[in-house]
Amino acid sequence: MKTEPSGNQHESPLGVAAIGYAFMGKAHSNAWRNVASFFDVPAFEQKVLVGRDTTQVAEAAAKYGWAESATDWRSVIERDDIHIIDICAPGWMHAEIAIAALAAGKHVLVEKPLANTLGEAELMVAAAASARANGVQSMIGFNYRRVPALALARELIAEGRLGTIRHVRAAYLQDWLSDAESPMTWRLRKETAGSGALGDIASHAIDQIQFLTGQTALEASGTLKTFVSQRPGSRGSGGGLEDVTVDDAVWATFWLTGDMGASVEASRVATGQKNSLTIEVYGTAGSLTFDLEDLNELNFLDATVPVREQGFRRILVNEPEHPYIGAWWPQGHIIGWEHTFTHQIRDFLLAIRDGSQPSPSFEDGLQVQRVLAAVEASAKNKSTITAVENKSLITEGV
């Protein structure tokens, strides 16, 4: 396999291949299709979209702007005209594809969570570190880091506007599994999904807590719950009931560096909640609140002014001075959820051009994976789990 860098050292356009054409494949394809229309990025070409079904992937490739389609990701990775691999496939495929792509000298973007297991994630980090030494870049796709309002929140926190952060609350609630008759999918099987609400959406909340505050989770205590233990089988399974082997909901508390506490709640059975991510950050000098359903807004309270003047004020994050916004529309013309993926692709391409480490790195993804594993272990053992960097998880009885 090739080991030479395949990005910023040649003048021809970067060839991109995306693996996976369902929900995330569509979101990433939309970003690849639009990023160069708004941002100054290195030249690239949407070369090939990869999927298992020949007919469906061909239809998706034509619709999403890819030049061709394929069903064998291994042969695509070996192609000399492919320089970037964008992995949008389910988590159980991440490690094998990413490690092979990095070994072949391809830059890799992979959807979160990094992998289904801590062991797989550690292997991916090792492969990324080895490839980085040869100029090959890698990044994990926590797209909510690219919400302008949350990027602004991070800036305000880093500037000290909130003083010392004391605690953070995050809740990510959905209801697409609230109906007990909803059929089985790969997301409900541990062997393909790794975990349920924990890895699927709580991972976003955990990453945001660490991203916004710049602190790292040290201890975790968690509870997992599967409310619907069996669901109607998917097509081709005979129509009988199948066991659900992942969680429907998770509750967790954390202690972080910086003497900071945090809590996370995540559910895919929260009736009436479609895609609700709320974040609250409380400091000695102020507070911030954010709601994904109003993703162009950030609420800020300045506790340094007299009490009679205090109160949360709404910041419409839509000015050219705000993160990412200058590339889009005139003030007051809001942007949407899909723009986070466009910002993600923009940042990834610029890192490849500059030869710099994209953020979040695979190491960042591994750190979140450690926290997920700690929550799962805590729920199983009814204990507090300490996630020690680069070491095994240590169980401490409560």
- Architecture of the 149-294+296-335+370-377 domain: 2-Layer Sandwich (3.30)
Dihedral of CA atoms 58, 60, 65, 67 in degrees, nearest 10, equals -20
* Angstrom distance (rounded) from CA 336 to CA 295: 7
Q: Per-residue confidence at 386, pLDDT binned at 50, 70, 90?
A: confident
Mean pLDDT of the chain: 93
* Angstrom distance (rounded) from CA 99 to CA 110: 11
Phi, psi of 22 (to 5 degrees): -85, -140
With CA atoms as reference, report the closest residue to 350 among 324, 322, 319, 318. Answer: 324
Q: Are strands 107-111 and 84-87 parallel, antiparallel or unpaired?
A: parallel
pLDDT value at residue 239:
66
| pTM summary value | 0.93
Q: Per-residue confidence at 371, pLDDT binned at 50, 70, 90?
A: very high
CATH number for the domain formed by residue range(s) 14-144: 3.40.50.720
What is the token pair recorded at 41?
């990025």
The per-residue pLDDT for range 56-77, each reduced to its tens digit, is 999 999 999 999 999 999 999 9
pLDDT reading at 181 higher than 70: yes
Q: Per-residue confidence at 393, pLDDT binned at 50, 70, 90?
A: very low
The per-residue pLDDT for range 324-353, each reduced to its tens digit, is 999 999 999 999 999 999 999 999 999 999
Phi, psi of 67 (to 5 degrees): -70, -35
pLDDT value at residue 390:
40
The per-residue pLDDT for range 242-265, each reduced to its tens digit, is 999 999 999 999 999 999 999 999
DSSP 225: E
What is the token pair recorded at 170?
């995050």
For the chain, report the end-to-end CA distance as a whole number of angstroms: 50
The per-residue pLDDT for range 110-136, each reduced to its tens digit, is 999 999 999 999 999 999 999 999 999
pLDDT value at residue 4:
44
Domain spans of the chain? Answer: 14-144, 149-294+296-335+370-377
